[in-house]
Structure 1
Amino acid sequence: MSSRTQQLRQSFLLTGSVSALVLVMGFALLASRSVTRIVERQANERGQDVATHVASLVGMYLQERRREAEALARSPAVVRAALDGSQQAISQRLPQLDTPTLERMFTQRHALGGDPDLAAYLRDYTQRSEFAELFFTERHGYSVLGSKRTSDFVQSDEEWWRRAAADGIYEGTPRYDSSAAAVSLEHDVAIRAPRVTAAVGVLKAVFALDRLSKLLTATDVGGGARLQVVDAQGRLLIGGGGGGGGPNPSDLLHPISDAALIPRLERADTATVPGPAGEELVVTVPVDNGKWWVVFRQPKATAYAAARTTAASIVLWTVVLFGTTLALLFAFWRRLNRRVTEPVKAAGAIASRVAGGDLSVTVVTERTGAAEVGDLLSSVHTMVVALRRLVGAIRTAADEAAAMATEISASTEEMSASTEEMSATCQDLTKRAAEQAQLVRAGADDATKILQIATILAAGAEDSVRRNTAVADVARRNKEVLDESTEHLAKLAEEVNRGAAEAEALARASSEIQKFVTQAKAVATQTNMLALNAAIEAARAGPQGRGFAVVADEVRKLASVAAAGATETADTVRGVLGRVQAMRDRLTQLAHGTDVARGAAQTAAQGLGTVAAEAQASDVWGREIAKMAGEMRTLVEEISARLGSVAQGTETLLASAQEIAASSEEQSASTQEIASSANQLAEAADKLTGAVKSFRLLADEEPPPQQQAAD
């Protein structure tokens, strides 16, 4: 018993520990993987957000420089200077000379020259803008004016000049500017005069990307991350180190070491590439329609540090949870051992002593933690007390059996005399019992038929009740659903009417906006006319009015932009007005359909209410019928049971009478056998008394000494 209890304890502890370990480790593994995926996805999204923001900054910077160069090319002063340069070249018959001759002629200044104020303006413009160099040519490709001396006088043999003159705009490949220690980019724009189809010249604007490089260098994205800008060939254009470190000038316009591994797609993408200090998280975002890419780089160990920290915390808490679980299992095992195992072990020892014949054992029925164990000890105590009483009763019965054996011998003589009388009486009783059995059997058969009919009627009534109840429930549920649908349709109709009113108000507001746009277009037209008149007056004023001409041209541009914006706004307002009208018509149709559906739902709800009321009334009648049928079936069952009992009793009485008649004949012959059996009973009582003496009883339950002496 002790070894089996120990095995049970060990099995319980081992099973509980293994189960707790499996559950805790499974939870830790799932939680660690889930948290790691979430934190890594957040790190990727952060890198993509930073790269997207930087890409938007680079794109806006390039777009601003291009618009600035195009505005300079459209400047009236530049257009006039290009036209004057063309007239000067034709008057000097320069197009008839070859390029080497022209280069020798203009070896000192490399330009035709022109308005000194415009030349000073270009030089000053490069000082206060992002452009490092500005110059323009006339239509033959001869340099006219610039911010500084150009390397060649004739530019028509250059590819950038031919492409810009033919296409209108040309953007050269990035080049390294040693003076700025950064990559520079040129933007060439064709100069066009009003009412002239061909270009009257080409403006070349060169700007360095050192401003962008400083911006990226100053951008501290944290976590050892750095930003770069590369082109389609993977060459480094702009580079920024984490924490403010700048790029190495010798690396500019050279392919980065891992260019083949970095994705350069038309959308933002994420990859992991090997780096000098381990794997790096790389996020690329396209810039300028896929010509350049912003590259966000961060060591993977730094980017995913939060994921590793979280996973370590989960493992630590898992260990703590496992230890707590083991402690709880040990405490539960101790409690089980104290409140269940030890009381059960004591009950087993008591059962062993009782099996050995010791009924003097005392059972301690103290209160335990488990009600079942207390009940077990109480049952063992009750069993021991009952065995004591049984053994005492057996001893007493054995004494009484010996005395009864003597009395039986005397009674056998009286039994022989009464046997004859009993035989005659039994024959008459047998005849009457047979007649009564036939009558009772016929009544029982009739009661059985009535019971079958009552059962069928009760089953039909119960089935009718169930069906009526089901119909009433279905009708009631559908009515509730239709009532809810009617309320929702009413609310929907109100919302639709409110939406139609708001659409009408929006249409009126759009009309007011359209009036304002018309007035803005009229103001822009008047402003454009005033700017044109101012330009004419400035041209009449000569050199003194050139500065005013530039201002007038800017005013005219502003008026053109305002007119274009007003036109676009008017088109947008008309489109919004048309959509608002269409929405108002649709809302009106929806309100009409909602009213029709609400009416139909109300009609259906009333019909279902009537069906539910009728089904409920039918259910009441069906229940009454089922109740009466059940009472009738119960009454018939009782009658049938009673007739069956009477029939069975009659048959039993008949059989008993027959047996008594037969046994009365045998009773005389068995009188001697009874006397012999009485002697054997006395001997058996002596043996039983000797066997019961082997049980040990308490002192207060021992038989009296005189009774033991008599035995």
Structure 2
Amino acid sequence: MTEREAGIPTPAAHDGGSGRTLRRRILFGAGIGIVVVLGGLAWAGTAGVGSVFHREAELRVRDAAQRSAVFVDRMLTERQRELDMLLTSPTAIDAAREGTRRTASMGLEREPVQALEQRFNGNRSLDVDPRLRRYLGDLNSSVGAIEAIVTDQWGHNIVTTSMTQDFMQGDESWWQTAAEIGHTPAEAEFDDWSKQVVMTMAGAIREPSTQRTIGVMKLTFNLSRTDSALARSGGTSGGIRVELIDGDGIVISSSSDTPRMRPFAGARVAAASADTVVHYTADNRENMLASIPVGGGKWRVVAHVDDATALVEARRIQRYLNIATVGLALALLIGLAWLDRFVASRITHPTERLAIAAERVAAGDLSVDVDDVATTDDEIGRLTRATGTMIRELRRLATALRSTSSETAAMAEEITSGAGAMATTAEAMALTSSDLSEQSGAMSQAISQFSNDATRLVAISSELDAGSQEGLERNVSLRELATANRARLDESASALETLSADVAASATAADSLAQASEEIRAFVTFVQKMARQSKLLALNAAMEAARAGVHGQGFAVVAGEVRRLATEAAENAERTETLVRDVLARVGDSRATTARTVEAVASVSTATREGLDTFSRIEAAVVENEEWMRAISSASTETHALIDEMTRRLESVSKTTESFAASMEEVAASSEEQSASTAEIADVARSLARSADELSRLVSAFRLGDVAAPPAGLPGVPSVAAAVEEEELVGR
């Protein structure tokens, strides 16, 4: 039998490719990880450096703009203060007074402008105060005033430090503004004479007592000092340039060589910024600027720098960082290459040889020897020694399995024969138990049916007992109700007798009332007669009084009163007679009603006596029915007790029969289980026999070689049993 037929895999050819592939895969992954990590760190570093230098450049630009704005505001304030001091100085006021006096004496205010220009074309000034002219000329060295002009109240030049273009300044806008409101704001313009950008400021010279304008002074300053100050504010490094622009975006002063009086490229962006750093593009370059208004918002100080100049240091640091990252990556890759050679010599090659030996062992070749693979005391050396010990133990185990496989097959045959006999006995026992279980089941069903019939009898008896008890309770209630009704009828009869006596008394009272009414009517008739007699008597008295004349007037009054009283008595008698007739009619009705009431009371009294007799007979019948229901209830109770006793005995017999049937079923089930277990044992024994044969065949396929298995217990070669005991001790 070949190894392939025996189901044992043959060892494949090994060239070390898998070990090298795993090693190189690990090293390749580590290299890629190093490159990715270093690349990420380099990117993060360059981005961080760029961000830091960008923020620093913005701070420097903003700081330059703020410092320059402070300087420009201070410069404008100082120039305005110097101009105000000159305007209020006594020398300037005296010069204005003198110029106005001389102009008036010469009648210049009435001459045309062209005539004045031709007349004073030589010096274009009256030069009324040479001392003031020299003082104003010295301002160039102290405050940078390259030109000063003083005019009278009409605009004629009275003191100038240099030749001016015009003698008459009164038609100029700056002069008119200064004369009207007292001063003009600082203005930047290009001076054709000096070929440079200058700043002009003008103010009115006023009479101290009346504050009337008596002249105007104009100072022209060069901006060279402003350029130097802007250069100092912009700093000496970083390439920041500071520009001073007017409201139209024209450059009037700069820290560098930016052309003056030209539009600034970022003027629109500067006008929109509010003390913040903004970015814009000019000449295909990215720039940043900060703008701050000065001079009351008329001018702006703009500090700006292009990104390439501001971030040149950041670019240099980023370049150095990238070079350092590449160098570190190369160093790490060289280290990985050395590590590859070290891992190959100390780990990969020994592990590969151990893998080949393990595959040969898996294929059934136990003659392999791995003791010379690694002799070091590291993990690979320990693995080599453990693998050699395992192979020797497997050789010893294979030898032992060869000797025990035949014994296992014989024992399996004996177990199979014994299991067959046991299965036959279990089947016979199961048949007997099944018959007994069926008979017990039939008996249990019959007893259960009889018990059910007895239960129905108990239910019927219970219903009869309950019906008799209910009938007895109803009879008792009926008897109590009849007794109560008879008592009520007795009370009604007594009440009717009392009512009859009251009705009779009422009839007697009505008769008496009728007699009294007749007497009252007779009295009323008498009163009516008396009233008629009184009227006749009063009439006779009136007639006699009339005959008596004056002496009979008092008697006539008495006769009138008697007649009035007779009339009222007659009326009252008539009303009383009407009332008496009504009373007599009502008394007649009451007597008729009383008669009918007497008859009704007599009828009710007769019906009440008959009802009393009827309730007496009902009460007697209820008493007899109550005694009969008590007898029925007693018989039902005795029957119920007898049926209960019989039901309990039947239930006991039924439970015993069911227990016996269940026991027989359990015996039958146990027999069947024993038979099944015996069959399983037989199957297991047959499987064991087949396994023993297969084990013998497999063990015979192992190639043990010429090396004999070392006996267990030799020093340095522990057996499997010893190893297992050692592991158990360690586990405890």
Taking the aligned partners of 1:685 and 1:217, their CA distance within structure 2 comes to: 106
Q: Whose radius of gyration is greater, 1 or 2? A: 2
Q: Per the alignment, in what secondary structure is the counterpart of residue 55 of structure 1? A: helix
CA-CA distance at 1:132 after TM superposition: 1.8
Q: 1:190 aligns with which of 177, 183, 204?
A: 204
**Is the 8 Å Cα contact of residues 392 and 701 (structure 1) preserved in structure 2?**
no
**Is the 8 Å Cα contact of residues 228 and 294 (structure 1) preserved in structure 2?**
yes
CA-CA distance at 1:156 after TM superposition: 1.8
1:248-397 mapped onto 2 (5 Å cutoff): 251-253=259-261, 255=262, 258=265, 263-265=270-272, 267-268=274-275, 269-271=277-279, 273-274=281-282, 279=285, 281=287, 283-285=289-291, 286-296=293-303, 298=305, 300-334=307-341, 336-338=343-345, 340-364=347-371, 371=379, 374=382, 378=386, 381-382=389-390, 384-395=392-403
* Alignment partner, residue 83 of structure 2: 69
1:25 aligns with 2:66: no
1:540-559 mapped onto 2 (5 Å cutoff): none
CA-CA distance at 1:189 after TM superposition: 0.4
Summarize the Cα distance change of 1:695–1:216 in structure 2 as closer, same or farther, 3 Å threshold. Answer: closer
* Alignment partner, residue 48 of structure 1: 62
**Is the 8 Å Cα contact of residues 122 and 134 (structure 1) preserved in structure 2?**
yes
Taking the aligned partners of 1:280 and 1:398, their CA distance within structure 2 comes to: 95
CA-CA distance at 1:162 after TM superposition: 0.7
Q: 2:52 aligns with which of 28, 38, 42?
A: 38
Aligned-partner residue type, residue 204 of structure 1: K
CA-CA distance at 1:298 after TM superposition: 4.8
1:154 aligns with 2:162: no
**Is the 8 Å Cα contact of residues 354 and 384 (structure 1) preserved in structure 2?**
no
**Is the 8 Å Cα contact of residues 409 and 693 (structure 2) preserved in structure 1?**
no
Aligned-partner residue type, residue 699 of structure 1: A
**Is the 8 Å Cα contact of residues 140 and 146 (structure 2) preserved in structure 1?**
yes
CA-CA distance at 1:372 after TM superposition: 8.9
CA-CA distance at 1:24 after TM superposition: 2.6
**Is the 8 Å Cα contact of residues 126 and 134 (structure 1) preserved in structure 2?**
no
Summarize the Cα distance change of 1:402–1:194 in structure 2 as closer, same or farther, 3 Å threshold. Answer: closer
CA-CA distance at 1:209 after TM superposition: 1.7
Cα shift readout 1:78-113 (whole Å, capped 9, x = no counterpart): 234324444454455554444445556656665555
1:7 aligns with 2:21: yes
CA-CA distance at 1:188 after TM superposition: 0.7
Aligned-partner residue type, residue 231 of structure 1: D
**Is the 8 Å Cα contact of residues 72 and 78 (structure 1) preserved in structure 2?**
yes
Cα shift readout 1:368-412 (whole Å, capped 9, x = no counterpart): 78759946862673365145234325415637987999x99xx99
Q: Per the alignment, in what secondary structure is the counterpart of residue 319 of structure 1? A: helix
CA-CA distance at 1:183 after TM superposition: 1.6
Taking the aligned partners of 1:303 and 1:662, their CA distance within structure 2 comes to: 96
Q: 1:238 aligns with which of 209, 233, 253?
A: 253
Taking the aligned partners of 2:85 and 2:315, their CA distance within structure 1 comes to: 54
**Is the 8 Å Cα contact of residues 251 and 260 (structure 2) preserved in structure 1?**
yes
Q: 1:699 aligns with which of 698, 702, 708?
A: 708
Summarize the Cα distance change of 1:180–1:56 in structure 2 as closer, same or farther, 3 Å threshold. Answer: farther
**Is the 8 Å Cα contact of residues 139 and 200 (structure 1) preserved in structure 2?**
yes
**Is the 8 Å Cα contact of residues 344 and 373 (structure 1) preserved in structure 2?**
no
Structure 1 residue runs of 5 or longer lacking an equivalent are: 242-246, 417-421, 431-650, 665-669, 671-676, 703-711
1:174 aligns with 2:188: yes
Summarize the Cα distance change of 1:298–1:335 in structure 2 as closer, same or farther, 3 Å threshold. Answer: same
* Alignment partner, residue 636 of structure 2: none
Cα shift readout 1:524-571 (whole Å, capped 9, x = no counterpart): xxxxxxxxxxxxxxxxxxxxxxxxxxxxxxxxxxxxxxxxxxxxxxxx
Taking the aligned partners of 1:233 and 1:176, their CA distance within structure 2 comes to: 15
CA-CA distance at 1:187 after TM superposition: 0.7
CA-CA distance at 1:288 after TM superposition: 2.6
Matched residue pairs, number?
458
Taking the aligned partners of 2:185 and 2:279, their CA distance within structure 1 comes to: 31
Taking the aligned partners of 1:75 and 1:313, their CA distance within structure 2 comes to: 65
Taking the aligned partners of 1:329 and 1:303, their CA distance within structure 2 comes to: 41
Taking the aligned partners of 1:663 and 1:172, their CA distance within structure 2 comes to: 121
Taking the aligned partners of 1:68 and 1:663, their CA distance within structure 2 comes to: 127
Percent of pairs with identical residues: 28
Taking the aligned partners of 1:359 and 1:662, their CA distance within structure 2 comes to: 42
Taking the aligned partners of 1:154 and 1:114, their CA distance within structure 2 comes to: 15
Taking the aligned partners of 1:662 and 1:174, their CA distance within structure 2 comes to: 121
1:134 aligns with 2:148: yes
Summarize the Cα distance change of 1:383–1:123 in structure 2 as closer, same or farther, 3 Å threshold. Answer: closer
**Is the 8 Å Cα contact of residues 281 and 303 (structure 1) preserved in structure 2?**
no
**Is the 8 Å Cα contact of residues 250 and 264 (structure 2) preserved in structure 1?**
no
Summarize the Cα distance change of 1:257–1:402 in structure 2 as closer, same or farther, 3 Å threshold. Answer: closer
Cα shift readout 1:167-220 (whole Å, capped 9, x = no counterpart): 211146433346655322221101223342542321111222233345556887
Taking the aligned partners of 1:231 and 1:299, their CA distance within structure 2 comes to: 22
**Is the 8 Å Cα contact of residues 229 and 237 (structure 1) preserved in structure 2?**
yes
CA-CA distance at 1:304 after TM superposition: 1.8
**Is the 8 Å Cα contact of residues 350 and 363 (structure 1) preserved in structure 2?**
yes
Aligned-partner residue type, residue 184 of structure 1: V
Summarize the Cα distance change of 1:304–1:85 in structure 2 as closer, same or farther, 3 Å threshold. Answer: same
**Is the 8 Å Cα contact of residues 160 and 172 (structure 1) preserved in structure 2?**
no
Summarize the Cα distance change of 1:87–1:325 in structure 2 as closer, same or farther, 3 Å threshold. Answer: same
**Is the 8 Å Cα contact of residues 134 and 147 (structure 1) preserved in structure 2?**
yes
CA-CA distance at 1:139 after TM superposition: 2.3
- Deviates most, 192-201 or 370-379: 370-379
1:432-451 mapped onto 2 (5 Å cutoff): none
Aligned-partner residue type, residue 185 of structure 1: M
Q: Per the alignment, in what secondary structure is the counterpart of residue 155 of structure 2? A: coil
Divergent runs of 4+, >6 A:
217-220, 259-262, 367-370, 399-405, 651-664, 681-691
Summarize the Cα distance change of 1:144–1:358 in structure 2 as closer, same or farther, 3 Å threshold. Answer: closer
Cα shift readout 1:600-630 (whole Å, capped 9, x = no counterpart): xxxxxxxxxxxxxxxxxxxxxxxxxxxxxxx
Aligned-partner residue type, residue 95 of structure 2: A
Aligned-partner residue type, residue 323 of structure 1: L
Q: 1:81 aligns with which of 85, 89, 95?
A: 95
**Is the 8 Å Cα contact of residues 216 and 239 (structure 1) preserved in structure 2?**
yes
CA-CA distance at 1:260 after TM superposition: 6.7
Taking the aligned partners of 1:682 and 1:121, their CA distance within structure 2 comes to: 138
- Deviates most, 211-220 or 50-59: 211-220
**Is the 8 Å Cα contact of residues 180 and 210 (structure 1) preserved in structure 2?**
no
Summarize the Cα distance change of 1:92–1:689 in structure 2 as closer, same or farther, 3 Å threshold. Answer: closer
